[in-house]
Amino acid sequence: MPASEAPAAPPGLARYLDTCATTPLAAPVQTAMAQAERLAWANPSSLHGPGLRAAESLERSRQRLGEALGLGDGRLLLVSGASEAIHLALLGAAGRLPPGRLLISAVEHPAVVAAASRLQREGWTVAVIPVDRHGVIDADAFAALLAPPTRLVSLIWGQSEVGTLQPVASIGRLCRQAGVLLHVDAVQVVGHRPVAFAELPVDLLSCGAHKLEGPRGIGALLVRPDLSLEPLIGGSQEGGLRGGTEPVVLAEGFATALERATARCAGLSDPIAALRDDLLERLLAQTGTSLIGSDPGDTPGRLPHHIALSLNDSEGRPLNGRALVRALARRGWAVSSGSACRSTAGGSGASPVLLAMGFEAERAASGLRISLGSWHSAADLEAFPADLLAARRQVELEG
């Protein structure tokens, strides 16, 4: 669906520009989940009629998710969300390997950092791949670090705070050549561009439902068919890799949300990119405004629904991102000053991601993230540039 033909925003959402944090449950997803709650409410491990209906619903949802993600012969494990998927990917893969080295980029999600810290306590070493000013990993440094004892790599595909995409295909080919496993955090990518897992040189891929107008509380880990994992939660469910009663209704919601997103992105990317580009052009026309992260026209590019800016006052000094978020909130807009899952560095407000990209501390506290939803139209965004300008003046006056 072209951005110009986007459906009218649900009540209160026309000014919600923080979809990288979470999205509302779409009405068709709510309807599908309500029907599943009526018809498939039982425990899918039970052998009676209601249980069998629940089991059938669960496996149909799993099949639909796999088809939408190009799973091929791989496995799709349903978990509580992307953070659990990331931990199962890294700890589960490492549990079947002798201790070695894990590579992560300097701009990973906190869930990856937490899993890496756990592996360090279990005898692994962790090396951080540096990134450039746009947040793209240093290819030479990465290639050098693929030498033994590296056994595992985890990389964020689309960086939620700055929008930069990583060259996953070329990274995956290098990992395959080196015999190193690759996990990709695709949370921000899934739902905004086509993903064909079976065609990617990737061993593990994690994603979640609530970034694409699906329910909270469910995510998925895609696993190469011949890869063995150590379970984190014992039990017979999910092939013995994730114990606990399966969330049949959430799985229905996840599958419905992903199918809607896949239909919208039938081309190479989300058509909302055109709306994003128009808004970005208007915002960059304001004095003292610069784009953070990769330019949309560059390779590998940026998330199609994402804008990240650094803003100056009239004297050329960075404006505080948190203060801008509050000033815009007073005008009815919901934006972000960074990842909703990331704590600030040392309480200063400086983003660890921007620090890793080479920004000095005051500039690293000036980031503003704007992320669009499928419901947005040009009319919804018409007033935003003027309101941002007013918010900037207010923050400067308040000092």
**Burial classification of residue 45, based on how many CB atoms lie within 10 Å of its CB (0-12 exposed, 13-18 middle, 19 or more buried):** middle
pLDDT band at 266 (very low <50, low <70, confident <90, very high): confident
Asked whether the predicted pLDDT for residue 141 surpasses 80, the reply is yes
Question: For residues 182 and 173, what is the distance between their CA atoms, to the nearest angstrom?
Answer: 10
Known active-site residue 175: no
pLDDT band at 4 (very low <50, low <70, confident <90, very high): very low
For residue 360, what are the CA distances in angstroms to 43, 96, 106, 307, 356? Answer: 53, 41, 16, 20, 10
Element (H, E) at 221: strand 219-223
Give CATH 3.90.1150.10 domain extents, the chain: 9-24+269-398
Q: Are 380 and 14 in contact (CB under 8 A)?
A: yes
For the record, the structure tokens of 236 come out as: 């017979």
Chain mean position to CA 66: 18
Distances from the Cα of 311 to the Cαs of 101, 210, 261, 297, 392, in angstroms? 39, 29, 32, 21, 8
pLDDT at 10: 61
**How many C-beta atoms surround the C-beta of residue 290 within 10 A?**
12
- Supply the Cα-derived Rg of the chain in whole angstroms: 21
Question: What is the predicted pLDDT for the residue at 303?
Answer: 97
Sheet-wide strand order for 289-291:
289-291, 306-311, 367-371
Residues 128-154 have a mean pLDDT of 97
> pLDDT digit string (tens) for 281-308?
999 999 999 999 999 999 899 999 999 9
- Is pLDDT at 346 greater than 50 in this prediction? no
Cite the beta strand spans of 119-186 per DSSP E: 125-129, 150-156, 181-185
Please compute the mean of the pLDDT values over residues 90-108 and round it to a whole number.
Answer: 98
pLDDT of residue 9: 52
Q: How far is CA 301 from CA 120, 128, 186, 256, 294, in A?
A: 32, 22, 15, 28, 6
Residue 233, beta-bridge partner list: 242
What would the mean pLDDT of 305-330 be, rounded to a whole number? Answer: 97
pLDDT at 342 over 70: no
In this predicted structure, the answer to whether residue 170 has a pLDDT above a threshold of 90 is yes
The proportion of the chain whose per-residue pLDDT surpasses 70, expressed as a percent, equals 94
Q: What is the predicted pLDDT for the residue at 319?
A: 97
pLDDT at 214 exceeding the cut of 90? yes
Contact at 8 Å (CB) between 306 and 163? Answer: yes
Q: Which sign does the torsion angle of CA 337, 339, 345, 346 carry? A: positive
Residue type, 346: G
With a CB cutoff of 8 Å and minimum separation 6, the contacts of 205 are: 69, 183, 184, 186, 195, 197, 221, 222
The beta-strand segments (E) located in 55-142 are 75-79, 101-105, 125-129
pLDDT at 294: 96
Which CATH architecture best describes the domain 27-264?
3-Layer(aba) Sandwich (3.40)
Choose between 340 and 187: higher pLDDT: 187
In sequence order, what are the beta bridge partners of 183? Answer: 154, 204
Per the structure block, which two tokens stand in for 98?
A: 């002798």
Q: Please report, as a single letter, which amino acid is at residue 13.
A: L
**What's the pLDDT at 344?**
44
**Per-residue pLDDT averaged across 2-16, rounded?**
65
Q: Identity (one letter) of the amino acid at 204?
A: L
Kindly state the average pLDDT of the residues 158-180. 97
**Integer Cα distance of 156 and 182 in angstroms:** 11
pLDDT at 272: 95
Average pLDDT in the chain: 94
CATH topology assigned to domain 9-24+269-398 = Aspartate Aminotransferase, domain 1 (3.90.1150)
d(Cα 140, Cα 171) in Å, to the nearest integer? 11
Q: How far apart are CA 341 and CA 161, in angstroms?
A: 10
Q: How confident is the model at residue 349 (pLDDT cuts 50, 70, 90)?
A: confident
3-state secondary structure 15-76: CECECCCCCCCCHHHHHHHHHHHHHCCCCCCCCCHHHHHHHHHHHHHHHHHHHHCCCCCCEE
Looking at residue 36, what is its pLDDT?
98
- The span from the CA of 198 to the CA of 386, in Å, is 45
User: Could you tell me the pTM of the whole model?
Assistant: 0.94
